[in-house]
Amino acid sequence: MLFEIIDILRRGVSLRCPCCGYGRLFKTWLRTHDHCQACGERFEREPGQWFGAVYVNLGLSVLLGLLGSLVAGLFVPLSLSLLLRVGLPVSAMGPLLFFRLSKGIWTSIIFLGEGLYIQWPNR
């Protein structure tokens, strides 16, 4: 069970279909396919579904800013103002950097909650 969950999340991180792992989630850099090209799984079950990806993106962006600041602080003593001047722009880049990754992870989370349409073939 744990390995299945890890495998489904790995498929989301690699921007693949959480159901089969073969179909690509994105057809362009910004737009997702409506359904999997390999197994037919529908990626968007309802309008507004991607709103949850915003929270995933926010968490990843904050994590990037915190880890970036901590790592930089290991090598250079940082004042609070320097930390904010470096950490905030790095965190502001997060939503762009993690746009696709957050959608992939969110799709996997929805699939784990059985929110997508067709049954998983392994069940």
Q: Which of 19, 25, 53, 110 binds Zn ion (CB under 5 A)?
A: 19
Q: Which stretch binds Zn ion (CB under 5 A): 5-13, 29-37, 56-64, 79-87?
A: 29-37
Stretch that binds Zn ion, among 21-29, 44-52, 53-61, 111-119 (CB under 5 A): 21-29
Among 15, 38, 58, 60, binds Zn ion (CB under 5 A): 38
Q: Does 116 bind Zn ion (CB under 5 A)?
A: no
Rounded to 5°, angle at Cα 108 from 33 and 17: 40
Cβ-proximal residues to 40 (8 Å cutoff; 6+ apart), any chain: 118
Closest CA to 12 of 120, 111, 116: 111
Cα–Cα distance measured from residue 35 to residue 33, given in angstroms and rounded to the nearest whole number: 5
User: Which residues make up the interface to Zn ion (CB under 5 A)?
Assistant: 17, 19-20, 23, 36, 38-39, 41
